[in-house]
Amino acid sequence: MTNAIVVVGAGVSGLTTALLLSKSNANVVTIIAKHMPGDYDIEYASPWAGANFLPMSTRENSRWERRTWPEIKRITEEVPEAGIHFQTSRIFRRDKDMEGPSCPSDPMFDHDPWFQSVLPDYKELDAASLPAGHDSGCEFTSVCINTAMYLQWLVGQCIKNGVVLKRAVISHIREAKNYSHTGKPADIIVNATGLGSLKLGGVEDQAMAPSRGQIILVRNELHPMITTSGTEEGLPEILYTMQRPAGGGTILGGTYDIGNWESVPDPNIALRIMRRVVEVCPEIAGGKGIDGLSVIRHGAGLRPYRKTGVRVERGKLDDGTHIVHNYGHAGWGYQGSYGCAEGVVELVNAIREENGESLVTEPK
């Protein structure tokens, strides 16, 4: 017996979930979405991400990121066309940022972080390696994902496994039931609508809010990638850089502005981001300051922030149709993508077991 599954959402969460579900012959997967890879829209977070792998969860909640790293590492090593490369990451801390409430990605700045045993080559930096105004720092091997390439690669992997993608806009989650390409109503709906879950009928999750991130994409190159624990401008202004592989440009960030829906990049924020970057890494612009930056594009995206943390959970529609949620990843949707998708597969398998189905099926 096969399950007709409709995944709503074609961001990194929906695509990765569809990919893992489609590895079993027991699942026939359709993806429906308003936005698909190739689109740039304020309602679609995934293309705007840097994206790198800098763990943001606490040790207790680290499952999703812990489970994602091995697969991201494998793809980086074995699948160059996926558009991911290794890049050394440096995190610089200021003691004063550790004292008060700060950026929600705080655990990244811990002195004894859980991820030191997960990400390779972790070491604390000596004082000579720190930029002015910083008190400590660490270095490890991370990755940077060229999101334009990687999202398309995920689409290709899904199609190879028989997944069918369709454009659709739904106003209530129950509508997804009618979109399976099998022609029969879906047995299971996966909700991977990101920030869309705030307004989508039948979900309307009031814990959801945008966390606006403004970025600048430049042609200049910079190794290693850097992130600092705070800025003189205070929150929501933050500082990070990463160079995308394969000519994807270098991302300069940014902001983490919860509650801000603005889609248009603010020129004053852009100036402050560029000034901060050339102060900490003058080499990016050959010592010429902001004038030495060659801008490809200014942008702003909305991270799907959830006050109560990510939702990977089962539920049911009024008519008994199963629904599995996978949304609310804030600023870590890529670095938690395989862990969360694996969580969805476990929930789908639990539904199948309850229905008396054997879980022993031929993988494709």
Query: Stretches 38-46, 98-106, 118-126, 226-234: which one binds ligand FAD (CB under 6 A)?
Result: 38-46
Say whether residue 329 binds ligand FAD (CB under 6 A). Answer: yes
Say whether residue 339 binds ligand FAD (CB under 6 A). Answer: no
Task: Give whichever of 33 and 186 is closer to ligand FAD, judged by the CB atom.
Answer: 33
Q: Are strands 27-33 and 3-8 parallel, antiparallel or unpaired?
A: parallel
Query: From CA 235, how far away is CA 203, in angstroms rounded?
Result: 30
Cα–Cα separations (whole angstroms), residue 93 to 106, 281, 316: 11, 15, 45
Site for ligand FAD in 226-255 (CB under 6 A): 254
Among 4, 5, 7, 8, binds ligand FAD (CB under 6 A): 8
The least CB distance from residue 354 to ligand FAD, in Å, is 27
Among 150, 179, 334, 338, binds ligand FAD (CB under 6 A): 334
The least CB distance from residue 3 to ligand FAD, in Å, is 21
Among 20, 33, 273, 323, binds ligand FAD (CB under 6 A): 33
The least CB distance from residue 80 to ligand FAD, in Å, is 20
Tokens found for residue 332: 């870590």
Query: From CA 359, how far away is CA 8, in angstroms rounded?
Result: 24
Query: From CA 360, how far away is CA 267, in angstroms rounded?
Result: 56
Sequence-separated (6 or more) residues with CB below 8 Å from residue 237 = 231, 255, 269, 272, 273, 276
Q: Of the candidates 126, 134, 84, 127, which has an alpha carbon nearest to the alpha carbon of residue 109?
A: 134
Task: Give whichever of 137 and 304 is closer to ligand FAD, judged by the CB atom.
Answer: 304
Among 3, 4, 11, 139, binds ligand FAD (CB under 6 A): 11
Say whether residue 303 binds ligand FAD (CB under 6 A). Answer: yes
Size of the chain in residues: 364
Task: Give whichever of 168 and 258 is closer to ligand FAD, judged by the CB atom.
Answer: 168
Task: Give whichever of 49 and 155 is closer to ligand FAD, judged by the CB atom.
Answer: 49
Cα–Cα separations (whole angstroms), residue 88 to 224, 247, 332: 5, 17, 18
Say whether residue 14 binds ligand FAD (CB under 6 A). Answer: yes
Cα–Cα separations (whole angstroms), residue 99 to 93, 94, 229: 12, 10, 11
Q: Identity (one letter) of the amino acid at 7?
A: V
Q: Of the candidates 323, 330, 230, 234, which has an alpha carbon nearest to the alpha carbon of residue 280?
A: 230
Among 6, 24, 26, 50, binds ligand FAD (CB under 6 A): 50
Q: How buried is 169 (Cβ within 10 angstroms: 0-12 exposed, 13-18 middle, 19+ buried)?
A: exposed
Task: Give whichever of 92 and 334 is closer to ligand FAD, judged by the CB atom.
Answer: 334
Query: Binders of ligand FAD: how many residues, by CB under 6 A?
Result: 41
| x-marked contacts with ligand FAD along 210-229 as a string, rule CB under 6 A | ---x-x--------------
Among 7, 12, 28, 84, binds ligand FAD (CB under 6 A): 12
- Site for ligand FAD, rule CB under 6 A: 8-14, 33-35, 44-46, 48-52, 168-170, 192-196, 200, 213, 215, 254, 301, 303-304, 327, 329-335
